[in-house]
Amino acid sequence: MKRSLRLSYLVAALGLTTVVEAASTTIVNTEHPLLTAEVSDAVASVYFIRPDAGFSGVMGKPVSIRVAGEELLKLAKGQYTLVRLKPGEGEGVVKSWTVAMRGGTNSMMKVEESRPFAFVAGKQYYVVVAEANRPPSEGNSFPPVPIARERALEVAAGLIPVGAAVDAPLAR
């Protein structure tokens, strides 16, 4: 009886995890020091785009995007958002989960990718966060890659705009 009850709890917990993952969405940290609600030529408009590569499990979780040392947003797969940032520069870091082969067994681990960014007032930027293959011992990661507007339009086609991108979707 005890084993059956534990198994039932395990199945329920896994089911709840699946539902939570399926309902995950992009969340912007409204307290980030570079974030502003201002819509003008005095700010930079930055679209963060994450294609849905069909992952489930840890690779399907939202990725954390940090700019200038603080978390700016969590970006869910299959979504994109727009943030307006005060001009500035710093490092952009994407933290995510992966499964890597360690010592002959698969292990869950956090990975991060980074690159320097400079955001200029009055400019628009498009940053795609897509899977990058790495050696099996390191697992895959999601580096932030700046792309041109035309490429952003292609990548964002069919994705869900969230946050400020609902009012300013990527469209031709």
pLDDT tens-digit series, residues 19-57:
444 457 999 999 999 999 889 999 999 999 999 987 667
Q: What pTM does this model have?
A: 0.83
**Spatial contact of 67 and 29, defined as CB atoms under 8 Å apart:** no
**Spatial contact of 129 and 116, defined as CB atoms under 8 Å apart:** no
pLDDT tens-digit series, residues 75-122:
999 999 999 999 999 899 999 998 888 788 888 889 999 999 999 999
Pairing of strands 27-28, 70-75: antiparallel
